[in-house]
Structures are given as C-alpha cells and as structure tokens.
Structure 1
Amino acid sequence: MAMGIGKRVCLAGVAAGLLSGCASLEELRQTQMANRNLSAEKAALEQEMFDLRGGAQAMRARADALEDQVATKDRLISSLQSENETLDVGFKSAQTSLEKWAGMPFGDPASGIRLPAELDAALKAFAAEHAGSVVYDARQGTLKWTSDLLFALGSDVVKDSAAGGLRSFSEIMRSPVGQQFDIVVVGHTDDVPVNRPETKQRHPSNEHLAVHRSIAVKQHLVSGGMSPSRVGVMGYGQYKPVAPNDGDGNRSKNRRVEVYVVPAGAFSAGAESTHALSITGNEPTGVIK
C-alpha cells in the first residue's frame, strides 16, 4: 500500500518536471523570436542611420558647392560694381570735358566756330553723295543721318547698307584737314526698355545698348583707317532725348548716335569747340526691343 502511494508521488513529480520543462522551452522560443525581431529592427535602424549619414554628406557637399557658387557670384558682382564705378567716373569726366569744350550743355552741337573750309567742303560733298539720307548743317558743322539706317531692332550690329557711309566718313576724317580733329561717339535710345531675353542678355539696359552701338560705330570707323586713339565712345541711353517719347515718330528721333568732332588733342588739351555728327539708329516702331 505504501509502495503504491510512493509510485504515484514519483509519477506526479515526473509529470510536474516535464510540464516545467515544456514551459521553459516555450519561453526560450519566445525569447529567441524576440531576439531575432530586435536584431532585425537593429539592422533596419543601422541601415537607416547609414542612409541618413550618406544623405547628410551629400547635402553638405551640395551646400559647400552652393556656397562656392555664391562666393563666385559675390566676387563677380564686386568686380562688376568696381568696373561700373570706374566707367561712371570716366563717363562723368568725359562729359564734363566735352561740355567745357563746347561751352554749352552736352548734346547741343552748336559751337559758334566753323569747321575749316576744306573739311566743310568735304562734308558738303559727302552729304550730296548721300542725299536723302544725310543732311549737313554748315552753320553748326554737323552731319545727321535722317533715316534709321544704322541698326536693326535691339542690335548693335551696323547694317551693311550703312557701313559704306561710315567708311566714307572715316576717309574724310583721315584726310590732312580731318586729322586735325578727333571724335567722340555718343549713343542714345528711346525710352522703351529692353525686354526680350535674347536682347537683354547682350544689352541689359538702354544704356548698355547705347554704349555698345557707339562701340560698333567706332569699330567701323577704325576698320576704315581711323586710329582708335582718335575715337572715344559714350552712351546716354534714354536720358538725353531730343523729342518727347510720346509716339513712334518722336521715339525714332531719339534713337541716334551722335559723333562729336573735337580738335585733335582736345582730350588732353581741353579745346573749346566741338561739332556733332548725328546718326539715327534703326529700330522699327511699335515693337518690343
């Protein structure tokens, strides 16, 4: 009887042990599963951190590149500002000198002093040769192109039809009597702003366009044989109109290039007289530059 009871107690103990072992195995499996999940999460976080670090490095590299670009632009702006200041000083100095030579507000061609007879005769003959497009004012010593001959819309390229006249004028200024004079080329425009992107890229403003046209005229005169040292260039843009900018007709009058004839050496000697050659630039009316 006692032995039977002992066997039952032993069997119960074995069963309890087995149950306890099963519970421990399940816990182990759960722990292993949790560990694998945590390991996977850790790997994902490590990959995300790696990606973020790579992105941050790329962003830093991009930021450094942008900073370099900004620094380059700043240097360019500073250089252009310095150049503009230098040009402005030179422009004002030339304007003051030219007004002094003329003895009147800049832009008024009347000087009160006549050109030499031989040069006067040559300019009269030149005007006669180009009758209908050029008018010579012997009293004031000026030549004026009466039609829009020089430039196309928003351009600083001299038209082929006008190049011959500039070469002829250059020949006159290279004559013995013409060599007694230097010239200053001054560009003017109307008040229509430069808007077309392709035009604005070359000529950001009317002042740029005016100066670039003056330079183009100088280049043609120089290609005709005049010394570059005898030809100065300036540009007023729309700021010195000869007529109100209230219509196409008046605007066409304001689009011009004036050539002031000054005694040779006047840039350094400060002569007292000028004569002007006014050339109208070609820009079709009623259109955007």
Structure 2
Amino acid sequence: MTNTLRIVALVAVSGLALGGCASTERDRLEQINQTSAARIEQLNQENQALQLALQRKDSRIAELEGDVRGLQGVRTDLQRQIGDVRSQQASIADQLGNLRFAALDPETDRAIQQLAAQHQDIIRYDPARGMLQFTSDLTFDSGSDVVRPAARDGLQALARILNGSSASGYDLRIVGHTDNQPISSAATRQKFGTNRHLSAYRAIAVEEVLRQAGMSPTRLEIAGWGEFRPLVPNAARGGTAQNRRVEIFVVPGSPSSGAVESAPAPTEPAAQPASRPEMPMK
C-alpha cells in the first residue's frame, strides 16, 4: 500500500513538471512567432520602398534615354550642317583658286613698277595682283598712324599715276595689317585700343595722303585686318616685320565711284600732323 502511494505521488509530480515545461515552450514559440511576424512586416515595407525606388529609377532611365536620342538627333543635324559648311568652304576655295586678277594696262603697270623701283626700301609691287605693299616699320613710326615723309612722297607719286588718264578707271583698296603682338604702350592702347584699330587708322592715314594728293575719296576704300591676315607665321618672341604692312590694291573702278573724273589738286599744301613721342614697335 505504501509503495502504491509512492508511485502515485511520483506520477503526479512528473505530470506537473511536464505540464510546466510544455507551457514554457509554448510561450517561447509564440514570442518567436511574433518576432518573426514583425520582421516579415518590416521586410515587406522595405521591399515596397525598394520597388518604388526601382520604378523611379526605371522612369529616370527612360527619360535619360529619351534625352540621349534627342541629343543624337541634334548631333546628326549638326554633323550635316558641318558637312554643308565644309562643302561650301571647299566650293569657295575652288572659286578663289580659279580667280585671276585682271592685269593693269601696260602704261599704269609700267609707271607703278618704276615707282616701286624708286622706293625699294618702302614699296614692294606685285603686278600679278595689282598690289603695292608699304612696309609699316618704314611708313609709320612705332605705335603711330602718321605717315612718314618718305612714304608720303611715294603715296603722292602713286596718286599722280592714278590720276593720269590711263589709270583714271581704277580704284584703290587700302588694307592695314599688324603683327600679333598686343599693344604694350598705354598711350597707344588708349588711342587705338587694339591691333585691328591701329591697322584701320593707318589705312585711313594712307587714304588721307592720297586724297590730299588729288584722288577722289569715291575711289578709295579702306580696311584694317589687324593681326588676322599674316603673310608669315608670327615669331613666338616679338613681332614679325613682314606682317606689319599696308597693302594697296589697284582694282577696276565701280560705276558709282566716279573714277572717270579726277579730283582737282589741292590749292594749299596739306597740314602736317604734329609729331608724337616714340612708342614701342608694333
């Protein structure tokens, strides 16, 4: 009897212990389940955010691809335009290459050749182009637009030739040039500003001498190229004398120039401009 009671008691205690263990395990599993559910919800939210970001990225990529297609179209159009411009340039170059300058009449050509021979230090004559080139370094003082006396004599002689009957049908195109060295003198820079301005002022000064010598202003055209039409590459250190020049082209007169009538010679000698201080060579 006593043993039986002992066994019953032992079984009861064991049952209670097992029940407590089962309850603890169930609580632990429920906690794990809740934690897992919360983690799954968090991951779902993160996944939704990533999906939205991916959609935005895809949309941006599509927008950029559209921009690229548009730019490719612009590039194609620009390449076509560049090709057209190059074709036009080639056509113009061919036309210029086929141009031939009209030769001057023998009397005028001979007179200008004699003039150039008399002023070899200042004037170079190209009969094929009907062009006289006056060296700027000998025609003007450095940084100045006042024609020197020796060059003035040559220009006055040229005016007499052009006012002759055989040359009355010609006009003159006067073009100033400089080297590529910037104007260093403050006084020169204040007056002329740039090389282009200086070259234009020098062309104007030559035009004034010719006009004062009796040539009609309707026969005289002036221009200034500055450093932008060099004869030879400019030296890296300092200016290049060959590029500092004034060119005078003898060209057929236009109907509106009134070149068939010579302007009357001035009755009074032209006033000489005041001398100016020496400035760095341009």
TM-score (norm 1): 0.52
- Figure out how many residues of one structure are paired with residues of the other and give that number: 167
- The answer for the alignment partner of 1:204 in structure 2 is 193
Q: 1:262 aligns with which of 233, 251, 258?
A: 251
Instruction: Measure the CA separation in 1 of the matches of 2:166 and 2:237.
Output: 39
Name stretches of at least 5 consecutive residues in structure 2 with no aligned partner: 1-91, 258-279
Q: Is the 8 A contact 2:129 2:249 kept in 1?
A: no
Q: 1:288 to 1:225 in 2, by over 3 A?
A: closer
Q: 1:288 to 1:163 in 2, by over 3 A?
A: closer
- The answer for the alignment partner of 1:139 in structure 2 is 128
Q: Is the 8 A contact 2:113 2:125 kept in 1?
A: yes
| Equivalent AA in structure 2 for residue 240 of structure 1 | R
The alpha carbon displacement at 1:146 in A equals 5.5
Structure 2 SS opposite 1:241: coil
Residue 183 in structure 1 maps to residue 172 in structure 2? yes
The alpha carbon displacement at 1:266 in A equals 6.5
Q: 1:220 aligns with which of 209, 213, 216?
A: 209
Which is worse superposed, 192-201 or 216-225?
Answer: 192-201
Instruction: Measure the CA separation in 1 of the matches of 2:173 and 2:231.
Output: 18
Instruction: Measure the CA separation in 2 of the matches of 1:221 and 1:151.
Output: 15
The alpha carbon displacement at 1:131 in A equals 3.7
Q: 1:104 aligns with which of 96, 105, 109?
A: 96
Q: 1:247 to 1:178 in 2, by over 3 A?
A: farther
Structure 1 SS opposite 2:228: coil
Correspondences of 1:226-265 after superposition (within 5 Å): 226-246=215-235, 251-265=240-254
The alpha carbon displacement at 1:112 in A equals 3.8
Q: Is the 8 A contact 1:208 1:237 kept in 2?
A: yes
Q: 2:153 aligns with which of 164, 183, 189?
A: 164
The alpha carbon displacement at 1:125 in A equals 1.8
The alpha carbon displacement at 1:132 in A equals 4.3
- CA root-mean-square deviation: 2.7
Q: How many percent of aligned residue pairs carry the same amino acid?
A: 38
Name stretches of at least 5 consecutive residues in structure 1 with no aligned partner: 1-99, 269-286
Structure 2 SS opposite 1:143: strand
Q: 1:122 aligns with which of 105, 111, 115?
A: 111
Deviation per CA, 1:186-229: give whole Å up to 9, x if none: 11110111132211111011111011001000000001100011
| Equivalent AA in structure 1 for residue 183 of structure 2 | V
Correspondences of 1:23-172 after superposition (within 5 Å): 104=96, 111-145=100-134, 148-172=137-161
TM-score (norm 2): 0.53
Deviation per CA, 1:80-102: give whole Å up to 9, x if none: xxxxxxxxxxxxxxxxxxxx9xx
Q: Is the 8 A contact 1:189 1:238 kept in 2?
A: yes
Q: Is the 8 A contact 2:136 2:244 kept in 1?
A: no
Q: 1:267 to 1:210 in 2, by over 3 A?
A: farther
Which is worse superposed, 193-202 or 228-237?
Answer: 193-202
Instruction: Measure the CA separation in 2 of the matches of 1:267 and 1:192.
Output: 38
- The answer for the alignment partner of 1:11 in structure 2 is none
Based on CA coordinates, which of the two structures has the bigger radius of gyration?
2
Instruction: Measure the CA separation in 2 of the matches of 1:255 and 1:248.
Output: 15
Instruction: Measure the CA separation in 2 of the matches of 1:196 and 1:133.
Output: 25
Q: 1:206 to 1:250 in 2, by over 3 A?
A: closer
- The answer for the alignment partner of 1:35 in structure 2 is none
